[in-house]
A and B are shown apart, each in its own frame.
Chain A
Amino acid sequence: MNNKPPGEDLDNIVQMSQSNMGSSDWSDMLASLSESADKRVYAKLFHHFAPKVKAYIIRLGVNGGAAEEVTQEVMLSVWRKAHMYHQEKAAASTWIFRLARNQSIDWMRKQKYPQYSLEEWSDTAAEPGKGEQEVLSDRVAKAISLLPEKQSQVIYMSYFEGRSHGDIASRLDIPLGSVKSRIRLASEKLKQIWGGEYEH
């Protein structure tokens, strides 16, 4: 445990966070926060994820001061919920993405986005191994850049703009069915990249 007053190590922490780390290191770090409640570990996670969480929230349509506010809420919940993080079930980026998505939607709609309970995950379900999760985080962004533009476009419009199929259809002036088949094709190709683990 770190008993120093908050903020004292700030400069050191900023330095450390600038080193180049792979995504599996961030998952290790979040797992260790879940065990130790160490504020130095928390600060490192903050420096890496808070600027990305804010970028995501702004893209979804939360602006200015509110984006700052929601980012702070998300990062506070990283601390609150760290105990519920299980490294074997998700990469740190996946877990923090869920928090950021849910809290942005809560903020924009004033309604809780319906979620499936993580506690209810059945033990019988085949779970992706840790290794595969990490490979995914490191390679997917690159993989998306390899998709045909028509397919990466609908993925970006979904994840970064929160647009429904119907909304995308009218923006691109294509039929609803085409939006859905583009999303399906993109998803299929992206999943092939990490080894057919999630075949329908």
Chain B
Amino acid sequence: MNINHHLDEATLVSYSAGALSQGMALVVATHISICDQCRQLAEANDALGGALLESLESETVADTMLANLLAQLDDTPQEVATLAPVKPDPEIPAPLSDYIEGSLDQLEWKSIVPGVAYYDMPWEGRGVSRLLRIAPGKSMLAHTHDGNELTMVLRGSFSDEVGRFCRGDVADLDDQIEHQPLVDSDEDCICLIATDAPLRFTTLFGKLVQPITGF
């Protein structure tokens, strides 16, 4: 896949450290699953985690733990590596497919304004975690954020102040940037997005709809 926009190294480090919110980690895992470049960086960061684990001062473990485990091993089958199951929908990368039944078109999209709909991921927590579906020629509301925002394109494309984003690309932005993505594909643009803090809309209209959409 020809990917032009990648994850920030600081985001990849946080992913490996286990420090990302569920929503942010989902975008990272989804991008890594189709991006060799970011996956190699993630593997290196996991190796850093392994080295840090090795460097820790040992903690006393109960004497009985090993005996407990040894007693369980005979009844604990070793898992055999299986080929990845055939994905029902090649448009949905594996990490995301855990949370989506059927195709992107079959989701129960909720409309915000004409041409803009969303589908929330099934968890609560810090920030936003959802799919956004935006019609050709429509723009997402201009906004800034207090934290990080990840946007990965699954279908279609958009352009903003940073550049043009197509399937597989990820926009990894922080609070330095105010942006207003405009969909420039012929079909709807569907993105997986996550933030680690609530968005702040910068237009009056955005401020009015914010309480309703729960962004």
Contact = CB atoms under 8 A, between A and B. Distances in A.
B79 A163 contact: no
Nearest to A181: B10
A93 B55 CA distance: 10
B78 A82 contact: yes
Contact of B61 (A54, A76, A92, A136): A54
B171 interface: no
Given A101-B18, A158-B13, A94 B81 contact: no
Contacts of B18: 60, 101-102, 104-105, 113, 159, 162
A184 interface: yes
A5 to B, nearest CB: 9
Contact of A119 (B60, B68, B84, B125): B84
B197 A187 contact: no
Interface centre among B30, B48, B62, B147 (most CB of A within 10 A): B48
A127 to B, nearest CB: 8
A177 B176 contact: yes
Contacts of B44: 128, 136, 191, 197-198
A100 interface: yes
Interface in B59-107: 59-62, 65-74, 76-84, 94-95, 98
A63 B16 CA distance: 22
Interface in A33-83: 37, 39, 42-43, 46-47, 50-56, 58-60, 67-68, 71-72, 75-76, 79-83
Interface in B23-72: 25-26, 28-30, 32-33, 36, 39-62, 65-72
A83 B79 CA distance: 7
A80 B76 contact: yes
A165 B81 contact: no
A93 B41 contact: no
A179 B59 contact: no
B151 interface: no
B160 interface: no
B3 to A, nearest CB: 13
Given A55-B59, A90-B47, A43 B66 contact: yes
A122 interface: yes
Interface in A107-165: 109, 111-117, 119-122, 124-126, 128, 133, 136-141, 144, 155, 158-160, 162-165
B25 to A, nearest CB: 4
A128 B39 CA distance: 12
A57 B77 CA distance: 25
B209 interface: no
Contact of B57 (A55, A125, A128): A55
B163 to A, nearest CB: 17
A163 B19 contact: yes
A31 interface: no
B53 A165 contact: no
Contact of A113 (B25, B82, B176, B197): B25
A88 to B, nearest CB: 12
A191 B6 CA distance: 18
B53 A53 contact: yes
From B13, B22, B41, B52, name the one whose CB has the most chain A CB atoms within 10 angstroms. Answer: B52
A188 interface: yes
B52 A144 contact: yes
Contacts of A158: 13-14, 17, 19
Contacts of A191: 44
A79 B147 contact: no
B144 to A, nearest CB: 12
Contacts of B45: 187
Given A6-B73, A39-B73, A101-B16, 12 more contacts: A7-B71, A39-B70, A56-B53, A80-B77, A80-B78, A93-B54, A114-B22, A116-B95, A137-B50, A164-B196, A176-B148, A200-B9
